[in-house]
Structure 1
Amino acid sequence: MPAQPRSDVSVSRPADEVPDARLLTEAVTRLRRALRASIRTDYPWETLPMAQVELLQVLGEHSPARVSDLAARQRLAPSTVSGLIGQMITAGLVARDVDPADRRASVVTLTAAGREQLTAWTTAHERRMDAALAGLDDTARAAIANALPALFRLAENLGEPGEGAPGR
């Protein structure tokens, strides 16, 4: 049974009020879970584990990349990323090549099939998100649009690698 919207959560809060960390965490968790579930229901061809999808997304922006760089960006152990990359090589989504800057090291790049899979995944998710946003009123859509810059800054403050995290 789908989770019911919380009736005690106000959509509009005073601008100077600090958001409740627990409610924000709950909202992010529910959004991720709902998106993941809906994409697999609406698009049954989507079988990639989220960890592989996230690596494809990083490689879509930062390719070629060393396994150690991918691990740092994803906050995963290099051995975990190496195992995921091995699975993705077998699936034909990525290729491992010699790093031209250091022939002792290797880099990972998206293959044409990997880029195609990433494009299909992104398109399906954007279509699903567009449909969900269309079901909201103008005020709610505007609130989400206005919150996006702050949400990106919040992610930076939480310590995304290379994004000016506190204590780095």
Structure 2
Amino acid sequence: MSAQPRSELPLSQPAAEASEARLLTEAVTRLRRVLRASIRTDYPWETLPMAQVELLQVLGEHSPARVSELATRQRLAPSTVSGLIGQMITAGLVVREVDPADRRASVVTLTDAGHEQLAAWTGAHERRMDAALAALGDADRAALATALPALFQLAENLGEPSDGPAMD
């Protein structure tokens, strides 16, 4: 069986029938799935659940932070974030301290081990992504580079409250 040319979209339905939104959703879903799987295959030492990795990433940019702020940023329930933080405290990745601005509240901060784990995870993903990008042709790499600002803007737009019907 021959492989499909890279220019064809190996999607669940023909590209002519698929909407732009559906194609982008499928591409993002596939990227997330393959990145999650590849980090476990290529780097078996990585054992953190993605929810904890994502919290490490947020804390890497916004630390210290209150649990409520983390929950808002991750669009998770505060109780879910609190449980994840508890696991991360046990693992030595974060500490919970009294908020100096409001002694009734607490903030979460990355530990040195948390910074090291985040750097190792980020480095592993960057190496994996660099190898995949290097396998692309110049035109595809240029197209991706050109699309990056629009993808970041799309993420911002998706993060804003919707005026449309609520989704359950």
TM-score bucket of the superposed structures, by smaller chain: 0.7 to 0.9
Q: Partners of 2:146 and 2:15 in 1: how far apart?
A: 18
Q: Residue by residue, what CA displacement relative to the aligned partner does 1:102-158 show, whole Å, maximum 9, x if unpaired?
A: 000000000000000000000000000000000000000000010000000001111
Q: Partners of 1:166 and 1:81 in 2: how far apart?
A: 21
Tell me the residue number matched to 1:67.
Answer: 67
Q: Partners of 1:114 and 1:60 in 2: how far apart?
A: 9
Tell me the residue number matched to 1:24.
Answer: 24
- Which structure 2 residues correspond to residues 38-77 of structure 1 after superposition, within 5 A? 38-77=38-77
Equivalent residue in structure 2 for 1:6, among 5, 10, 16: 10
| 1:36 equivalenced with 2:33 (yes/no) | no
SS in 1 for 2:63: coil
- Residue 9 of structure 1: how far off its partner (Å): 4.4
Q: Partners of 1:32 and 1:42 in 2: how far apart?
A: 15
Tell me the residue number matched to 2:107.
Answer: 107
Q: Residue by residue, what CA displacement relative to the aligned partner does 1:11-36 show, whole Å, maximum 9, x if unpaired?
A: xxxxxxxx611110000000000111
Q: Partners of 2:118 and 2:162 in 1: how far apart?
A: 33
SS in 2 for 1:142: helix
Q: Partners of 1:82 and 1:121 in 2: how far apart?
A: 22
Q: Partners of 1:56 and 1:153 in 2: how far apart?
A: 23
| 1:158 equivalenced with 2:162 (yes/no) | no
**Two-structure CA RMSD over aligned residues (Å):** 1.7
> What is the letter of the counterpart of residue 118 of structure 1?
L
Percent identity between matched residues is 82
- Residue 166 of structure 1: how far off its partner (Å): 4.7
- Which structure 2 residues correspond to residues 80-99 of structure 1 after superposition, within 5 A? 80-99=80-99
Q: Partners of 2:161 and 2:114 in 1: how far apart?
A: 34
- Residue 6 of structure 1: how far off its partner (Å): 1.4
User: Where does structure 2 lack aligned partners over 5 or more consecutive residues?
Assistant: 164-168
Q: Partners of 1:9 and 1:101 in 2: how far apart?
A: 54
Q: Residue by residue, what CA displacement relative to the aligned partner does 1:74-125 show, whole Å, maximum 9, x if unpaired?
A: 0000000000000000000000000000000000000000000000000000
State the aligned residue count.
152
Q: Partners of 1:72 and 1:118 in 2: how far apart?
A: 21
Tell me the residue number matched to 1:138.
Answer: 138
> What is the letter of the counterpart of residue 118 of structure 2?
L
Which structure has the higher relative contact order (CA within 8 Å, separation 6+)? 1
